[in-house]
Structure formats: C-alpha cells, structure tokens
Structure 1
Amino acid sequence: MARKLQTIGFDADDTLWHNERFFKLTQARFEDLLADFTDRSRLHDRLLEAERRNIGHYGFGVKGFVLSMIETAIDVTEGAVPGHVIKQILDAGQDMLAHPIELLPHAQDTVEALSGSYRIVLITKGDLLHQERKLAQSGLGDLFDDVAIVSEKTAQTYRDIFSRHPGGVNGAMMVGNSMRSDVVPAVEAGSWGVFVPHDLEWDLEKADAPTSRRYHAIADLGELPPLVDEIR
C-alpha cells in the first residue's frame, strides 16, 4: 500500500535559517536614524504601511524592505531626509544581503533524516538571487529534490508545485514558520500544514490557525520526524 505522505516541502527563512532577526536589527537602526523626525511607534506603523502597500510592486525580501524604508523616510520628513541618511539605509540593506547564513536548531539533521525516504522540496518566496545565495551558503542544497522560489504562496502555488511530485497535493506536507504563507494555503490546497513557530514573527505573516485534521503545530524541527512517522 502506498504511503499517505510522499513529499515534504520546507519554507526557508526562519524555518531552516535565521532571517527576521536581521530585519528587526535593521529596523531598529532605521528608527535611530530618524529619531529626530518622529517617534519610534509612529515610524514603525508608517513603515509597516509602506511594506504592505509595496509588496505588490517589489515583492518580499531585503530590496523591497529597503525601498519601503526610503519611502517612509521621505514621507515622515516631508522630503527633508538628508542624503547621508538615505546612504546609511542603503548600507544597512547591503549588510543584510551579505550576512552569513545561520541554521536553526535541528534544521540540517531533520532534512537529512527525511531526505532518504521522502521527496524533499524547498518552497520559499523573496528575491531570486538572494534566496539562491542563501541556499548555496546553507549547505543544504544537495538535500532538496526541487527548489521553488515564488512571488507569493497561495493554495494554487502549492497545487502547482506538489502536483509535480509523488503523491500530488494530497500526499504532500508543507512545513514553515508562517501561518499565513506556509500553513493555511497548504491546508486549503489539500496538503498537510505544519507550523514551526519562530521567536520573531513579521506582522504581515500572522493568521489564525486552520481548523483541520491536516494541521499540526510542533515546537521545533526536531519534532518533525516523529510526526511524519505518525502520518505515514
């Protein structure tokens, strides 16, 4: 009898390696740069508004974040932001792009343990070149049977990707730290969705957990292999 679960998809940022911490550090740096123009709470809200507004134009990732910071700086200063501040924002973005990859606990052991028995797929969104660079630096690249870098994660995204692999969408699982992008749409598509919380969560990735038997939550990636064994 064929196994119920045949393909496992993994998110990348803040599921396999740290990412959001660098956005938080850069945002704090951004707030310091503009401290003379507005208070931090107002700046945080204005930046979040810009990010939400610009996702459709710039997509996800560092480059869109930097452009949103520049736009916000111009907005809150009514065009008076000094050139040296813009330069420091650009420098901060370049620092983010160059930051070395740091794997999260259990990431490598878990992917290695499952790769021998299941089709392993990386499904991530963001800037193509940056995501490819991070995957290459992670040392995990050879463990994936397929890599999909997408502009957005919807139920149709998962249907399209998982339909190319053994078991199809119903025989697939998506594992990630974003309820909105990794779990909810995967479950809507008919796959299993496994939520692995990260200490830091971007406001735009929050969502309510699905009410489905195909939804599971685990404390960290070390709990994934036992869960997979239960489902198989």
Structure 2
Amino acid sequence: MLNKTLVPQSVVREIQAMIQSGTLKAGEKIPSQREFAQKFGISRASLREALLTLETLGLVKTEAGRGTYVTSGPGASSSGMAPWRYSDIHSAFDVFQTRLMLEGEIVRLAAGRLTQMDLDALQRATTAMEEAWEAQDLVANVEADLEFHKTIVSACSNSMLKALYQTVRDQLVETQRQPIPMTDPERMKQSIAEHRRIIEALRANDGAGARREMETHIRNTARCAGLDP
C-alpha cells in the first residue's frame, strides 16, 4: 500500500509535469478539486496538500472565489511568494530563527558521526539539487534539498534534538520551499556552494565550522524570503 504521506508529493510531480509540458498553460485555471482528485485517484484533502505545495513553489496561485491558476513560474517578481501557510501557528521569521538554533546545533553534533556513505549521500543530494534547478524541476530541487538536511539530522548524536526536529519538520520544510519563487539563478548557485562548504566542514569533522556554514546558509535563505533572523 502506498504511504499516504507520499501521495501529495507524487501528485505535485505530476501536476508540475503538466505545467512544464504545456498541458496546463500559464494563466489557465486548473480543473475543480473534485475533478482533479478523481483524475489522480486521491482524496480532495491530498489534492489540496499538493496544490499548497505547488503554490509555495510559485507554480500555481489560488484566488479566493475564483479558483487555482497556473502562474508564469518562479522568478516572477510580480507574483512574489505564496502566503505563509502556518501563520496561525508560527511566523516564518520565528521558524527561520528556530532553524538557526536547531539545525546549527544538529550539524555540529553530526560532525564526526557521518559515514563515508552519508557524506556521499550529501554530495549526491547537492548535485541532484543543482541538476534539478538547471532543468527547472522545482519539485526535485526541493526534494534533494530536503534529503541533504535529513541526512545530517539522521547523524546527530542527540536523540532529543532529532525528535524536536521531527516535531516541527513541516514548518522547517516550508521555509525551504517558501523562497523558491524569489530565487534567481545566482542565489541558487550560492545555495549549492553553501551546501558544499557544509559538506567539507563535515568531512573534516569540524563541528564548529559546520555550524557556522549551516547558519550562514539558513540566514541567506531567509534573506531570499525577505527576512533577516
């Protein structure tokens, strides 16, 4: 049986492919949620989750009372970023601040504990992130970014910090998607270079250096979203 948590992500990829192929064109209204849910054989709740992810990535935009439309894609400054979907819980600023503290300490404690396989996985994820961006496969780009951070978390020596990370993972992940519509090619190059500097610090078992590089990376990502935590 397919893991329910994977359903929205698989649909996100399918809808992105429809947009990239021109099956769904810029400015076009997508079918009703009922019709689309039936097409993909999923619940309307799963479809809504998929559409929220696509909206955060800047591929669609929902207009109250009108429906959901295909946008002109990321980098369109007129559309900007999607509304922060967790505003009723925590602000994006607070989440970025939490990422600084939580992921900074996690990567410090992961240093010296990552195996060669882990380090290779970090490198593969970074390369996949770069290649996906070049292909404008935004879903794959973010998935590779998530895999990069997940690999580091898995090597953290503090089980409570890892549990805390999982508790707030949805909010943390959203800050990785949120800046995408405002990310230009130069910023993505910088982000990938930041990943590689984190890897080098981890390869050298330099916990303090890894923390410094991770904090720089998160701050730069936040600034791309118009925030300065």
Whether these two folds match at TM > 0.5 is no
**Which structure's residues are more often helix, by fraction?**
2
TM-score (norm. length: structure 1): 0.26
Larger radius of gyration: 1
TM-score (norm. length: structure 2): 0.26
**Which structure's residues are more often strand, by fraction?**
1
